[in-house]
Structure 1
Amino acid sequence: MRTAGAAGMPEPALSRATVDRAGEHRTDEAWLSAAWLREGTRVVLVAEDRTLVAEDGTGQAEIVLLPASAAPDGMRYFLGSDTAGVDYFAVSVPGLEPYRAPGVREGGLRELGTLLAAGDVGLLVHAVALDAWHRTHPFCPRCAHSTDIAFGGHMRRCPSCGTEHFPRTDPAVIMLVTDGEDRCLLARNAAWDEGRWSVLAGFVDPGESLEQAVRRELVEEVGVRAESVEYAGSQAWPFPASLMIGFFGRTTDPAITVDGEEIAQARWFSRAELREAMTEGVVALPSGVSIARMMIEHWHGGPLPRTPSW
């Protein structure tokens, strides 16, 4: 019998990155200004979770990077530097259509996450996460004064009261639980369309450890108690500000009691049952951009049918 474990699980699509974030430069305004003016500097345009890409005809895509001299005005974020000495920034724009060229299209992070190379994915995840925070946090929560971008886009400073505000990240646990027969527990959220299934997940409470959050969410949502909890991996999910922290769990008591509010259905699947349900169109799993899909396929022992996903 195979048992769940983190060893050998592929790296989640949105966890890939090659560009050094070079955080030591964020507080150096002179360095940032000089980097922006360097000839080799490249800029990612970001409009919410979307950017411009070019496709190579093989199903892969790459981000269209502009020289800084051709970049429009907008909120500017320093993303880092690569081993070739190229510095990267992102600029926030209200829309991408004015900057499209022949052979270029726009796409969102959910779609592009599995189509882009690691370097481009890392840049886009970073840019989308920063932009989501800046667009929704323009004012100081202490005095309500408008704030200014600082630290290369990694902080906002209030000129009125001097408070410094940093981007938030909301930790959420996501867990694949197996029972004594090595079946996988999947559930359907009450807000989802019929046929959409995934592993369970939930936000971490204040003052709670990750393992405690896994056990609490399982009991609250489906009445299952995990005897063991093992870290699987993590993935940024900037929609708008989550970090998905994956765990594999085990239980010896497969009895399920759904909460009837957040969870509409939950059931155990053997590997054969899951393949059959997907082939028949009864179950649609998350797309390959999600750590949930990675965890399910790791438990399954290999890729599952590429049926419609969400």
Structure 2
Amino acid sequence: MNYCGDCGSLLNENYNGNAKKVCTKCNWKWYDPPVPVVIVFVSTQNNEMLYVRQKWFPENKWATVSGFIDKHESAEEAAVREVREETGLETRVIENWGTIISKNRPNDLYIMVHCEVNGGKLQAGDDADEVDVAPIDTQRLIEGSIAEHMLLKFLNN
């Protein structure tokens, strides 16, 4: 954003306080909102879970599905869409588990959604190099990751 949302004047960078830019004429502030991202813990009726992996992950480490929420899309709709795009599986939403901020990506607001597989064919899609449905194993996930946090939440429910 380069111009004021109220009067159209040029915005100046301002890193004092929370505002990122301030209008040079009327003092309107723009706060650089976080980007909403859905992160999805996918379970099966057989008490297994869905794992996804990208080539750049540490060896033998996996994660869960995640992706940006499109305009006019709810977090739950994005969760179902992202799982389908990345893995070929169809899911139904079980529960929205709230939000969390990653230490590694503080500009992203992660909305955690639990889904359950109810169809489809497992195959790596556009943002996954490998996919797997397997027994729950905390050792497969990156330590300290949001995926690990979600798995522990699932196990404690």
Q: C-alpha distance in 2, partners of 1:234/1:220?
A: 22
Larger Cα Rg: Structure 1 or Structure 2? 1
Counterpart residue type for residue 141 of structure 1: N
Say if 2:54 is the partner of 1:189. Answer: yes
Displacement after TM superposition at 1:269 (Å)? 1.6
Name 2:124's counterpart in structure 1: 258
Displacement after TM superposition at 1:160 (Å)? 4.4
Displacement after TM superposition at 1:234 (Å)? 1.6
Say if 2:111 is the partner of 1:245. Answer: yes
Name 1:170's counterpart in structure 2: 35
Moved more, 181-190 or 292-301: 292-301
Displacement after TM superposition at 1:157 (Å)? 1.3
Counterpart residue type for residue 18 of structure 2: H
Name 1:80's counterpart in structure 2: none
Displacement after TM superposition at 1:254 (Å)? 6.2
Name 1:286's counterpart in structure 2: 142
Counterpart residue type for residue 154 of structure 1: N
Distance verdict in 2 for CA 1:287–1:193, change over 3 Å = closer
Distance verdict in 2 for CA 1:178–1:254, change over 3 Å = farther
Higher relative contact order (CA 8 A, sep 6+): 2
Q: C-alpha distance in 1, partners of 2:155/2:94?
A: 18
Q: Deviations over 1:47-89 (max 9, x none)?
A: xxxxxxxxxxxxxxxxxxxxxxxxxxxxxxxxxxxxxxxxxxx
Displacement after TM superposition at 1:161 (Å)? 6.4
Q: C-alpha distance in 2, partners of 1:198/1:149?
A: 34
User: SS where residue 96 of structure 2 aligns?
Assistant: strand
Displacement after TM superposition at 1:197 (Å)? 0.3
5 Å-filtered alignment, 1:198-277, equals 198-237=63-102, 239-253=105-119, 255-259=121-125, 261-271=126-136, 274=137
- Structure 2 unaligned runs (5+)? 4-8
Q: Deviations over 1:223-274 (max 9, x none)?
A: 1111233112321236241111111111232631211x42011111213xx3
Q: C-alpha distance in 2, partners of 1:202/1:186?
A: 14
Q: C-alpha distance in 2, partners of 1:228/1:147?
A: 41
Name 2:150's counterpart in structure 1: 295
Q: C-alpha distance in 2, partners of 1:193/1:218?
A: 22
Q: C-alpha distance in 2, partners of 1:268/1:203?
A: 23
Q: C-alpha distance in 2, partners of 1:164/1:157?
A: 5
Distance verdict in 2 for CA 1:145–1:166, change over 3 Å = closer
Counterpart residue type for residue 133 of structure 2: W
Give the number of the structure whose residues are more often helix, by fraction: 1
User: SS where residue 230 of structure 1 aligns?
Assistant: strand
Counterpart residue type for residue 142 of structure 2: P
- Structure 1 unaligned runs (5+)? 1-139, 303-310
User: Under a length normalisation based on structure 2, what TM-score does the superposition of the two structures give?
Assistant: 0.80
Contact 1:184 1:269 in 2 (8 A): yes
Give the number of the structure whose residues are more often strand, by fraction: 2
Q: C-alpha distance in 2, partners of 1:268/1:254?
A: 13
